[in-house]
Structure 1
Amino acid sequence: MNRRPLLPSWLPVDGYVLALLGTVGLAALLPASGAAATAAGSAATGVVALLFFLYGARLSTREALDGLRHWRLHLTVLGATFLVFPLLGLAARGLVPGVLTPQLYGGFLFLCLVPS
């Protein structure tokens, strides 16, 4: 039997999202420090890895192969991520003296170069 928590019908948020927001709120109110912060960081890394694994494990082989057939979309995303955004970041160097400060340009360039 699949039992889900009862949420009001007018609430357009999934229960998982509410739990995630609650966790962030709790962490903001009660931050970890010292050895507990190290343990919490390690646990967070492990949980994120587990979530990615479980999401990939439930993906059927057929769905994965169907996704690979969209090679034009994948090339477009890769081109935008690794070519267009870095070139935009480098082109923004021309805005440094007037529009952007050197520190702001450094942060903008970092955002353009980091794929995620």
Structure 2
Amino acid sequence: MASRPPIRFSRSLRLGTSNVVRRSKMFSSTIWEEDHPSAPIMPDNCCGNNCINCVWNDYFAAQADYEEKMKEYQKRATLQGRKVDVIEDFEDPSAKAFAELERKLREKNNS
């Protein structure tokens, strides 16, 4: 039976950080992948009863915040001469339609 080589862990793995993350803190003028805002995830736990505190309300607020952060990110990248690829999220059309319906119902109930 052949023996296996020992497993070696580097310090960066033990701490849960990588060299890229450490370097990005040293060179704050460079935009790194960790600075890229993450898009909110569409909720899948809505009961469909048009609740006052619907999960879609949180999603719409997070989506507006994401769009604002993304504009700031694109502006910083442009100033640094970097090209930013905008990736469109291809969401389920029925989920998008339901989200739009929830938004309209919320606006109707608030007016």
Higher helix share: 1
- Compute the TM-score of the two structures, normalised by the length of structure 2: 0.27
| TM-score (ref. length: structure 1) | 0.26
